[in-house]
Amino acid sequence: MDSMDLEVLKAARVWLEHGLRCELVTVAKTWGSSPRPPGSMLALCEDGRVVGSVSGGCIEDDLIACIRREGMQRRVPDILRYGINADEAHRFGLPCGGTIELVREPLSSRSRIAELLQALESRQLIERRLRIDSGEVTLTLQSGKQDLPAELVSIRGNNVVTHHGPRWRLLLIGAGQLSAFLAQIAVGMDYQVSVCDPREEFRSVWQVPGVPVVHAMPDDLVIEMCPDACTAVVALTHDPKLDDLALMEALRSPAFYVGAIGSRNNTARRRERLALFDLSAAQIDRLHGPVGLPIGSKTPAEIAVSVIAEMTAVRHGIVVPSAMNRAW
């Protein structure tokens, strides 16, 4: 989940289940330059534990100091603003002229954190509306929508409205060395990574902690996953019997990124093979191949960096020409 920190919400849920008082702090708005974008979250527990981040560290220190000084006596949310002037911006580690507005919310059963997490685990988009004067929360499923709005947080009169979406997923076809590097980088970027490889000789040597290897035919697994607009599928086996059928199913889905490794010539032949299936020209044009940005990468680690860079650009709406049509 890129828009909101899933680990922050999970920590808050655990604290509430254990009867601990805790607060949720959300970046609502920024002016100028600031270390963390709107939607970033921080959870603070009465026992001193902290999960998440809303700045480079100085604002977190101030929030913690406030709790140590005053305790967690707050009953309703409030709005905080840091960096109003240059001196305060410097004090709190904000770039010159930066200002950040935070929503500080005492959590309780009425905060509906467990329900929010349940919706996210079901890969649903959801709007959370918090009343500032009472702390009451309303959750609304965004039926029929696949993408989060550009504005993740807004303050509308007496309400703070936040939009939450499912965690980003990455399916890698093939459990080779390139997949291992790509999986490690993607995990660091908070992707939920899965690897599919029916070949025992590759599965037996896979050693990336926390990333499972599924013994299944790749196209069957793509269908089972039901890729959505928060899913990427990258084929890395060089074996058309494994890659092509998985790509065919992925290209039919709303997956935001579908890529395959291979030279320009191999990619051209792959596109010709895909055209023999029931795929439209527009669907085939969605294929990123040769996969990755042209950064001169040669080693598996460098290629992994180029792939994740291209995925990131596509995620953020940066138009990246197909490698088959690039002038550079």
Cβ partners under 8 Å of residue 131, min gap 6: 137, 158, 159
The CA distance from 71 to 52, in Å, is 20
Count other C-beta atoms under 10 Å from residue 102's C-beta: 22
If asked whether residues 75 and 208 sit together in one domain, one would say no
Question: Is 297 contained in some domain?
Answer: yes
Which CATH number goes with the domain that contains 219?
A: 3.40.50.720
Question: pTM for this one?
Answer: 0.70
Within a domain: 17:
yes
Residues 287, 184 within the same domain:
yes
Examine the domain organization and report whether 221 and 301 are in the same domain. yes
Residues 104 and 192 in one domain: no
Q: How far, in Å, CA of 225 to CA of 207, rounded?
A: 23
132 within a domain of the structure (yes/no): no
Structural domain span for residue 35: 6-118
pLDDT by 10s per residue, the chain, length 328: 444 478 899 999 999 999 999 999 999 998 876 667 889 999 999 999 999 998 877 888 889 998 989 889 889 999 999 876 666 656 666 655 578 899 999 999 999 999 999 998 888 889 999 999 999 999 999 876 656 777 889 999 999 999 998 778 999 999 999 999 999 999 988 898 999 999 999 999 999 998 999 999 999 999 999 998 889 999 999 999 999 999 999 999 999 999 999 999 999 999 999 999 889 999 999 999 999 999 999 999 999 999 999 999 999 888 877 665 554 4
- Structure tokens of 190? 């908070």
Instruction: Classify residue 80: in a domain, yes or no.
Output: yes
Q: Give domain status of residue 152, yes or no.
A: no
- Tell me which long-range contacts 223-228 makes (C-beta under 8 A, separation of at least 24): 223/249, 225/169, 225/171, 225/194, 226/253, 227/169, 227/171, 227/253, 227/254, 227/255, 228/123, 228/146, 228/166, 228/253, 228/254, 228/255
Domains of the chain: total: 2
Does one domain contain both 249 and 107? no
Residue 146 falls within a domain, yes or no? no
- Same structural domain, 316 and 190: yes
Phi and psi angles of residue 53, each rounded to the nearest 5 degrees, phi first = -160, 145
Is residue 11 situated within a structural domain?
yes
Which of 22, 68, 29 is CA-nearest to residue 45?
Answer: 22
Q: Where are the beta strands (DSSP E) in the chain?
A: 22-31, 41-45, 50-52, 78-82, 99-106, 126-131, 137-141, 153-156, 159-164, 169-173, 192-196, 213-214, 231-235, 257-260, 287-288
The residue among 83, 103, 118 that closes a domain is 118
Residue after which a domain boundary falls, among 77, 95, 118: 118
